[in-house]
Homo-oligomer: A and B are copies of this chain.
Amino acid sequence: MAQATIRDVAKKAEVSVASVSRALNGHTNVRSELKERVETAARELGYFPHAGARSLSMARAHAIGVMLPDLHGEFFSEVVRGMDREASGRGLQLLLSNMHANPDQAAEALRTMRGRVDGLIVMAPDIDTDTLLQHMPATLPAVFINCHGDAQGRAELRVDNFAAAAEMVAHLVETGRRNIVHLSGSAGNREADERERGYREAMRKAGLEPRVICGNFTETGGAEAAAAIIEDQKPTDAVFAANDMMAIGAMVAFRDAGIGVPQQIAVAGFDDVPLARLISPGLTTMRVNIADIGARALARLADMIDGRDDSEVECLRPELIVRQTTS
């Protein structure tokens, strides 16, 4: 036998479907005797309301669509955890869609969200925002995280890579470093560019000469850069890598070459991956609070769904984590 419907319950309790609906949804205008009869009938039939039908009728899905790229490890779980933190309190569920950097797949996923969710959180650093917007209803509330391109007035959330990188440089300068080399991230990557820009700006402000070595966000790249620095022989007392993995690669390479970290060369990264505090010496880095990004995105989206307009571009500021001290 198929699942019991509200009509089956109504028949069994000898009332109308409207009364069943009222009774089960805790409306006050139902005699308690009737309410009890309905509850008994529902229990006996193993009845569960059909959330799909419910949301069609109420024009409210109580779900948020979440589009994420093929994220690895911590990052993925943290961002989802942050969303969940805000969602569960609001009675919202998360409909997940990983899009594997494939625009067609992403478009398809976006389309199938319509009518199942009340809003969308989209994180698609590799896909042009324009393309995405073409595949989602214009009236569907949405928040874009670190998007690529013009969000056309949609709500946005991004990480303030520029300011954060500048803050790191300022910190290094403050602790007496002068010859600070920047290991940049992959060319063309938006985050990498912003971090480099922050570095250059802060160096300029401090009256120091910038020196940039091109990297690629990998541990190996960090090691190679370290080798180049050693080879080069130019005076260097700090390396600021565009992410932690490069920083770690460089740090290990320096250590292997007998260079004291941080005594001779301080090494700083960006992200605060878990490994950053587990390695020794700890890595000074900028903590991007990933869970907060998810939480914030969801909170804003929930507000939009409740009718509050929002087309702001909000910037989350990473936090400086000092783990290398030259005492």
Contacts and interface: CB of A to CB of B under 8 A. Distances in A.
A73 B2 contact: no
Given A51-B114, A112-B51, A80 B88 contact: no
Interface in A40-59: 46, 48-56
A252 B310 CA distance: 45
The CB with the most chain B CB atoms within 10 A, among A1, A77, A81, is that of A77
Nearest to A279: B278
Nearest to A98: B84
Contact of A137 (B3, B96, B114, B116): B3
Given A52-B56, A116-B52, A93 B97 contact: yes
A248 B279 CA distance: 11
Contacts of A116: 51-52, 55, 63, 93, 116
A138 B252 CA distance: 51
A81 B111 CA distance: 21
B114 A96 contact: no
Interface of A: 1-3, 46, 48-56, 61-63, 71-74, 76-78, 80-81, 84, 88, 93-98, 100, 105, 109, 111-116, 136-140, 248, 252, 255, 274-275, 278-280
